Amino acid sequence: MPLADYAAYKAAVAAALEYGFYKSTSALGSSGRPACMYANANEAGAAPTTAVACDAATVGAMLGRQTTTATTNPLYLAQVEVASGTAQSTVAMMLCDRLSHQGGLVGNVATAQTTNLPTAALTRYTSGAGVMAALEVYTAIGTGGSTVSVSYTNQAGTSGRTSKPVVIGATGANAATQFFPLPLQDGDTGVRSVESVTMAAATGTAGNMGVTLYKPLLILPGVAAATNLSGPLHWDGVICGGQKLIEYDDNCCLMMVTVGALGAQVQTTLVGSVSLIEAA
């Protein structure tokens, strides 16, 4: 633990770095499918045109490009408070460090694509351990059903690994903001880079997609609408997180991925705050 006891934790929280965030309403794909709010206002990110390593200054970062470079001591994610701004189905939210992204991939070819690949070299979590890959849709692709997989280099530096296929295309699996996590080859625990993307069949419309490398930090289940009597969700690393504080890199490009309740279209505004504490 970075802090000696609960009294030290309370003192650190009292002096915490507090950052608010807001991500606006948009259609986020069909029910039960992950969607990334990187391209949503406030601080809406654009589809990358090259392979880029992301950091706290990347437009689209959840904390609005606010940096935390005032200290050289380790920082930890201690508390999160978040509510949905629209009265609708419960939303689960995953906080991630967006590490690397690229764009320019299309949904209307069934051969290996290498445009803007390999992904930019990792600048955080450089071993690749615990780093995941996803295919992110920036402009809607076609409605022809298909599957997608990628060729990648794993956490041990072994290239030519192949992710397991993920269903993509067809109605409900082709919209902008949809985020398709890619299961790794058996035995792998992370990704250093992605070298190519292959769809089993064309979806009919090119659209625009890209590979995103990210490090999951925290999953918040059951984020309620602000109009509910239960109020916003409050997470505390000690009280709610099994006394586990999450180390937070100064250069983190914080992003959120949401999943709506099954049977409901996800369309929501998320607003809240993040508290970072310093370990002496």
CA distance 6 to 3: 8
Q: What is the pLDDT of residue 75?
A: 85
Q: What is the pLDDT of residue 223?
A: 60
Instruction: Give residue-wise pLDDT tens across range 184-206.
Output: 999 999 999 999 999 999 999 99
- Helix or strand run (H / E) with residue 20: strand 17-23
The upper half-sphere exposure of residue 77, i.e. CA atoms within 13 Å in the direction of its Cβ, equals 23
pTM metric for this prediction: 0.90
- Helix or strand run (H / E) with residue 211: strand 208-223
Q: What is the pLDDT of residue 217?
A: 94
DSSP codes of every residue in 127-195: T-BT-EEEEEEEE---SS-EEEEEEEEETTS---EEPPPEEE-STTSS-TTBEEE-PPPTT--BEEEEE
The helix/strand count (H/E) of the chain reads as: 1, 16
Collapsing DSSP to helix, strand or coil, 242 comes out as coil
Those residues of the chain that have pLDDT short of 50 are 228-230, 262-263
What percentage of the chain has pLDDT greater than the value 90? Answer: 48
């099994």: which residue's tokens?
A: 242
Q: What is the pLDDT of residue 186?
A: 98
Q: What is the pLDDT of residue 227?
A: 52
Q: Which two tokens stand for residue 200?
A: 């089993």
């790794």: which residue's tokens?
A: 184
Q: What is the pLDDT of residue 242?
A: 61
Contact 127, 217 (CB under 8 A): no
146 forms beta bridges with 168
Q: What is the pLDDT of residue 235?
A: 83
Q: What is the pLDDT of residue 209?
A: 97
Contact 82, 90 (CB under 8 A): no
Sign of CA dihedral 190, 194, 199, 205: positive
